[in-house]
Structure 1
Amino acid sequence: MGSTAIPATMRGVYLPGDSTAVVREIPVPEPGPGQLLLRVGASGICGSDIGYIYREHKSHRGVDGPAYQGVVTGHEPSGRVVAAGPGVRQFGVGDRVIVYHIAGCMNCDNCRRGYQISCTGASRASYGWQRDGGNADYILVEETTCIRLPDELSYVDGALIACGFGTAYEGLRRLAVSGEDDLLVVGLGPVGLAAAMIGRGMGARRIIGVEPSEQRRSWAEGLDLFDATVGVEAPGEVIADLTGGRGASTTIDCSGSRAGRSTAIENAAEWGRVSLVGEGGTLETEVSDTLLHKQLTLFASWVTSVPAMAQLADNLVRWGSRPEKIVSDRLPLAEADAAYRMAAGAGTGKVVLVADTDLDAS
């Protein structure tokens, strides 16, 4: 592998909050102590970016004011290390890495457990929200947020692991999905598709998907991840028929909607386990017959930990699974505005920004 000189400037994508994406020329940063400079190979567009940054700048997590601090967007990057700052120990130039999207204080209990997503320190910053993110030619990252990208996986695979697949994995880990379980996935956007792929790897004997959009349902059916997919018209009847009247022993809602959560809960079997990972909306359910008498266990999770994300990358290799399978659109950085319009519209699968050149060949 050869080396490439690092330029003085690069392109970065910004979101003004008016449903547009703007590419600007900015300086390439230099890594400080404990930091790495990556040449970005791929960077995914997340649904949370659409809801909280792209259309308008909203507050998030109960914090006053807009969550977005006018930085380069994108919290789902993977890439290759091109420079390392003083004190870096684990990674070096040429290493391929996935970036966990929260830089935490590394001192609070959550950070010490690897859940930097739940960091309680004042220095907590998310790539693409409070510090420059991955929708750029280069990104400056903390070594503590980096995970090795296995050689068997592409940069696009790594970008998907960086958020959506990690979110689905955490939800399914909480459920302890195994070969004894039927898995019901509600909401077949990118996170729902990730849940199906991971559920298959974890050994679920039957995977059923629920999705109101006929376009998304058709796309999902073509990926060969589900044993059956159904719409929202009387899904309970179809699910009952597929599960011998029992319902699914494990269910996960990836829709973030009240209706979706209700579907996941109502179609869980007795003693079933329900995972809630979709952001936003509300939860409304009858308690006695639906929850108590069925002896259900509900789990709620927010993304995953750094160790679990590393475990997921290794598991995907072991399972022979490729996250990039769920990508419907790959666009170069120069076409970021078109990419965001696709992600914000009635798209089918995942939208990803990719590097102009093959990083591993450069």
Structure 2
Amino acid sequence: MPKMLAAYLPGNSTVDLREIDRPKPGIGQVLLKMKASGICGSDIHYIYHKHLGDDPRTSYQGVVAGHEPAGQVVELGAGCRHFKPGDRVAVYHISGCGFCRNCRKGFQISCTDPQRAAYGWQRDGGHAEYLVADERDLVHLPDTLSYRDGCFISRGVGTAYEAVLRGNVSGSDAVLVVGLGPVGMAALMLARGRGARLAIGVDTQPDRVETARKLGLLDHGLVAGPDALGAINELTKGGAAVAIDCSGNPRGRVLALQATRTWGRCVYIGETGKVEFDVSDDLLHRQRTVYGSWVTSVHNMDQCCEDLDAWGLHPHDIITDAFPLEKAPEAYALMAGGRSGKVIVEFPD
């Protein structure tokens, strides 16, 4: 049986490269030749630094890593009808049961079935030369979008896109994004695509603010601090119509909420941790709406690809570093440092 190289995450901030058998697609599955596979912040937090393998439903189970895959279909399993060899695709990173209400809505991320499995967490992911994926989890990549775009759309951009939809961003809106990691930068890009009239970004790291500015993603970039709220209120004349917190930081979440104008929308997508705010002053009396948003749906990921195509935007502009699979340990170490943009593993033709 042909062999291939694959990356695993044993914990303790290490990457284990192994030679394994190339997989074969089963019923309703396709074999993808991998082209690009992103590294997500959740991979770093939950797996790279510490191997959490106790709960088979939600934690890493010692599989091939990488839950942001994009590649080309090379072989079909029995029963496949919608894709063909040669198709360029991104992979929705959760394979759900297909029958619970969340799956019926396209939100496999919230599938309630015990057999729910995430690529790169509970089933083999994209940090290998080939990947077996369920056909129903694939999203077509328009010809204008690169495989680099596709792997980023597979989760990070999809997460940002859902936040922009929940916030109902339009050309009337000033938009604030708190936390300018890869997802935050993607949120700014997508808000621009939706026509936001003003884009403001805040981060604790000046170099991230500068990167977002160089990419043309914002009108105003601010370094987090005691003066940030006042500056935002002045720039927006009373607060952002839509604020999106990508920081997952308690102070960042409070800033996003307090910088939302009266009757505005605040969307939380940054993972982990807690937040504490004054319910009356910060929420009720200002008539603000807070949304919690987790990733996106397969339908909206499809729409995201169509919109990026129509807008002429490329999330791959936010990718700062690409490594071959053989250098996956270096890629993870760089991403764990928290000072880069998006980091991916890339597979040459």
TM-score, scaled relative to structure 1:
0.94
Matched, 1:41 2:30: no
Gaps of 5+ in 1: 1-6, 358-362
Identify the residue that residue 138 of structure 2 maps to in structure 1. Answer: 146
Q: 1:296 to 1:323 in 2, by over 3 A?
A: same
Does the Cα contact within 8 Å between 2:200 and 2:220 map onto a contact in 1? yes
Q: Which amino acid aligns with 2:229?
A: G
Distance 1:66 1:293 in 2: 38
Q: Which amino acid aligns with 2:105?
A: R
Q: Which amino acid aligns with 1:17?
A: G
CA displacement 1:14-60 (0-9 Å, x = unmatched): 01101011211000111111000000110000000000000111369
Identify the residue that residue 194 of structure 2 maps to in structure 1. Answer: 202
Identify the residue that residue 11 of structure 2 maps to in structure 1. Answer: 17
Q: Which amino acid aligns with 1:211?
A: D
Q: Which amino acid aligns with 2:9?
A: L
Deviation at 1:347, TM superposition (A): 2.3
1:254-333 aligned within 5 A? 254-333=246-325
The alignment partner of 1:208 has SS state of: strand
Identify the residue that residue 53 of structure 1 maps to in structure 2. Answer: 47
The match for 1:220 among 208, 212, 221 is 212
Does the Cα contact within 8 Å between 1:58 and 1:65 map onto a contact in 2? no
Deviation at 1:326, TM superposition (A): 0.2
Gaps of 5+ in 2: none
Identify the residue that residue 79 of structure 1 maps to in structure 2. Answer: 71
Identify the residue that residue 232 of structure 2 maps to in structure 1. Answer: 239
Deviation at 1:223, TM superposition (A): 0.7
The alignment partner of 2:139 has SS state of: strand
Q: Which amino acid aligns with 2:287?
A: Q
Q: Which amino acid aligns with 2:198?
A: R
Does the Cα contact within 8 Å between 1:219 and 1:348 map onto a contact in 2? no
Does the Cα contact within 8 Å between 1:248 and 1:268 map onto a contact in 2? yes
Identity level (%): 51
Distance 1:232 1:94 in 2: 46
Q: Which amino acid aligns with 2:106?
A: G
TM-score, scaled relative to structure 2:
0.98
The alignment partner of 1:16 has SS state of: strand
Deviation at 1:356, TM superposition (A): 2.1
Q: How many residues align?
A: 348
- CA RMSD, 1 decimal: 1.3
Matched, 1:128 2:128: no
The alignment partner of 1:325 has SS state of: helix
Does the Cα contact within 8 Å between 1:333 and 1:355 map onto a contact in 2? yes
The match for 1:211 among 203, 206, 209 is 203
With 271-280 and 345-354 compared, the bigger mean Cα shift is at 345-354
The alignment partner of 1:179 has SS state of: coil
Distance 1:107 1:217 in 2: 43
Does the Cα contact within 8 Å between 1:150 and 1:313 map onto a contact in 2? yes
